[in-house]
Amino acid sequence: MEKYIVKASQNNMRLDKVLVAFMVDKSRNYISKIIDDGNCLVNGKVAKASLKVNVGDVIELEIPEDKPLEVASEDIPLNIIYEDEDILIIDKPQGMVVHPSNGHWEHTLVNAIMAHCKDLSGINGVIRPGIVHRIDKDTSGLICVAKNDKAHNFLAEQLKDHTMSRTYVALARGVIKENHGTINMPIGRDKRNRQKMAVSRENSKEAITNFDVIKRYSEHTLVECHLVTGRTHQIRVHFSYIGHPVEGDPLYGGRSYKKLYSGGQLLTAIKLKLIHPRTQKEMEFETQIPSYFQNILDELH
């Protein structure tokens, strides 16, 4: 049972709108279903979505457990950078979804991993076996998979305390004047579009991105980005916020310019550094900028 207290700023708001603000990581449909199924109480009574709440009201939610799902293994080629009995480092191609979800039950990285490796960490359930961290569908690059629960817990702690280092390369629109920079702006769910994230002071989490300029072009800047935190769409949101959206980004690039590339954001996870869960030794993995990305760079001046 999860419990929320209505704030003064939410007085006289509809219950469903208040919950959307509280549960920033859940979709509006997910929240509506919880209410419609009678799993939401306000001051101890089952409530409807249209109920107007008052400051100090106690909202209680019974979050249903996910139903077990069968995720099929698929014989999809994987670009494996490294593998041992505990971890698997994969260079994910652009266009591949990491794990099954609504609308993407097949052809995901998880489907491919399950065909390659039968023993995976079960910490994140059947939909995300072994998945320690994610990258977006149209972001390519390195991702770490845990083969057992002990390895998963160890790697998850590194993500939590920021000792796992993840480096990306992005092509940003416009010319960035600074050679180095830090974008320290909190990120939360976009109030107007639940499919997007946004820089926000309300219902958000700390988000920090460091960057170094690699090369400047006449209308673009190639940057290396170092994640301190790992929020959803973090690099894409941050660079859009400072006026330099990632080239090709369909969500945060804006509609006022013609994209050089229509296949998605030109963003790739190029380096990954971690402490191995068994040997306790630091390991660093690196991949190349993929050809679709490099081809665009070769055409710039």
**Residue 257 confidence class, pLDDT cut points 50, 70, 90:** low
Average pLDDT over residues 268-291: 97
Cβ contact 221:244 at 8 Å: yes
When mean pLDDT is compared across 42-46, 170-174, 251-255, the lowest value belongs to 251-255
Report d(CA 84, CA 108) in Å as an integer. Answer: 22
Average pLDDT over residues 264-273: 97
**Residue 57 confidence class, pLDDT cut points 50, 70, 90:** very high
Long-range CB pairs of 282-288 (<8 Å, 24+ gap) are: 283/82, 285/81, 285/82, 285/89, 285/142, 286/142, 287/81, 287/91, 287/141, 287/142
Distance set, CA 201 to CA 189, 232, 264 (Å)? 11, 16, 28
Looking at per-residue pLDDT, the higher value among 162 and 128 belongs to 162
pLDDT at 73: 87
Looking at per-residue pLDDT, the higher value among 179 and 106 belongs to 179
Tokens linked to 238: 């941050």
Average pLDDT over residues 113-131: 73
Looking at per-residue pLDDT, the higher value among 180 and 71 belongs to 180
Average pLDDT over residues 263-290: 97
Contacts of 277 (CB under 8 A, 6+ apart): 86, 87, 146, 150, 151, 154, 155
Average pLDDT over residues 15-19: 91
Inform me whether the pLDDT recorded for 66 exceeds 60.
Answer: no
**Residue 65 confidence class, pLDDT cut points 50, 70, 90:** low
Q: Which residues in 126-152 are b (16+ Cβ under 10 Å) and which e? A: ebbbbbbbbbbbbbbbbbbbbbbeebb
pLDDT at 68: 46
**Residue 143 confidence class, pLDDT cut points 50, 70, 90:** very high
Q: pLDDT tens digits, residue range 192-250?
A: 887 899 999 888 999 999 999 999 999 999 999 999 999 999 999 999 999 999 999 99
Tokens linked to 237: 């949101």
Catalytic annotation, residues: 136
pLDDT at 220: 97
Portion of the chain with pLDDT greater than 90, in percent:
68
Return the C-alpha torsion angle 115, 288, 83, 80, nearest 10: 20
When mean pLDDT is compared across 40-54, 65-79, 144-158, 270-284, the lowest value belongs to 65-79
